[in-house]
Chain A
């Protein structure tokens, strides 16, 4: 209803309006258990550091025993407080802040986008629709947790999470190709297409690095992407590297952020290797 009313008012599809936006992104991967109980506090500080780039809504994904994706409309710092982000533990996390350009902001367009790869089919292409993790369309609740419990020490969770800063230029065509393969997206957001594309490539047998290389060759436009799976953390940028990205790495953790200030406060930052990822190179860490 809301969309049709808005269409009436402006005659513009929501897709045009929401295709790209302004945002800040952050990702954190722990190499060992030292900071497992401080993961939430670390990612909360990083989220605060990119909040100015996206003051209207926020989302986080936390890999612990399972995966939890939380998104909400409103001030990112208040969101972090409300969900008790600083108190959470885990091994890997993504965070995203978004500046909305529509009058009615919804959580549907918040990152991270979480997608479980469809089961591999006989052909090269996936044919089974993916099950997205995240808010259902039109969900009334501001926070939509989606926990995927793990079983013991062996992670069975194959869900992939993605945050994106930038804007794609040919996502509509890729969205159509995915639809032909039976993969449907929940929103009109360009970043969600990338998440589904990667999941489909993983289902087709690519490893994460290969899938990201293929994405770099397939998607046009500007992107800094951070991706997590149950055992990996990866970063890749477009060939022109139009959007900012900084990586900091120690023996215990690796972090990627839009701006340096989001790194401040991370334990051991003074001794971390800090560098900017090269364009179109895949950076991948796995446990």
Chain B
């Protein structure tokens, strides 16, 4: 082979979809559809539902931003400092260098910006806070989120928004496998593609995929609903494509707006929900389990 050749093979034992397209660099994708501002972040009002307050007003009124240098601080002290902040406070974590468990378990309406890549569980088990990561993140971004927002300005690894009970997780790049697994009422919006097994066992809530969905989408779904703007590679067990209603279009419009996606046409998405065939256990379905 020639130097530098990169060969990707067909999946082995997969669903026979065929040769996938060339890998798209998730971390470096620039989607025209994602609005970004020099100041970083959307106007507070768009995220919280408050009216009249633009970003500039919010920033002028807000107290000075607390800057924490992670090169100098243990995770424990960083999180303790964030937890001690009052409602409305802002903090910026610099040199995160992919550190795990940043900004977990927050309980107040604080705005935290992580200036660089974060590791597992960023913003996990959180309430009310608005956490933004300027970079890619590891597994379980916003896992078990109760309320508030976790926004990833990059790619998210596996299990983004796992078991989120509320709030909104936004991924501006791609999300890999099992995005929205076990979702329990929270909302997940991914600007790019999602990997295999997205929404596995998802119980309630909404997932919006701005790009394509990988194999086995919605496997073992309960009552969560998935909207896909791109193509669906394959559906999982007990997931089905259903008609889009006016209520769906409205829900997608709101979610896309809150996520800041303008590349999603709410009228032109695929709705995936549970066929509810596995709701009652029957060994006649053994092949489906």
Contacts and interface: CB of A to CB of B under 8 A. Distances in A.
A contacting B, Cβ–Cβ less than 8 Å: yes
A179 interface: no
Nearest to A31: B4
B3 A259 contact: no
Nearest to A237: B177
Contact of A209 (B9, B97, B195): B9
Contacts of A276: 26, 155, 157-158, 176-177, 195
A180 interface: no
A246 interface: yes
Contacts, number: 117
Given A261-B99, A271-B28, A274-B155, A284 B3 contact: no
Interface stretch (B10-18, B83-91, B141-149, B203-211): B10-18
B12 A273 contact: no
Contacts of A286: 1, 5, 7
A274 B154 CA distance: 10
A157 interface: no
Interface residues of A, number: 38
B117 A260 contact: yes
B97 to A, nearest CB: 6
B159 to A, nearest CB: 10
A56 to B, nearest CB: 19
Contact of A241 (B138, B158, B174): B158
A32 B13 contact: no
A285 interface: yes
A264 B98 contact: yes
Contact of B139 (A32, A216, A244): A244
Majority secondary structure, B binding face:
loop
A278 B11 contact: yes
B24 interface: yes
A275 B9 contact: no
A68 interface: no
Interface residues of B, number: 38
B12 A216 contact: yes
A287 B3 contact: yes
Nearest to B215: A279
Interface in A228-272: 239-241, 244, 246-249, 251, 254, 259-262, 264, 271-272
Contacts of A273: 23-25, 27-28
B166 to A, nearest CB: 27
B76 interface: no
Contacts of B28: 271-274
Given A241-B176, A244-B138, A287-B1, 20 more contacts: A31-B4, A49-B98, A209-B9, A239-B13, A240-B197, A241-B196, A249-B6, A254-B6, A261-B119, A264-B117, A271-B28, A275-B24, A275-B155, A275-B174, A276-B155, A280-B14, A281-B9, A282-B8, A284-B6, A286-B5
Interface of A: 31-32, 49, 209, 213, 216-217, 239-241, 244, 246-249, 251, 254, 259-262, 264, 271-276, 278-287
Interface of B: 1, 3-14, 20, 23-28, 97-99, 117, 119, 136, 138-139, 155, 157-158, 174, 176-177, 195-197, 214
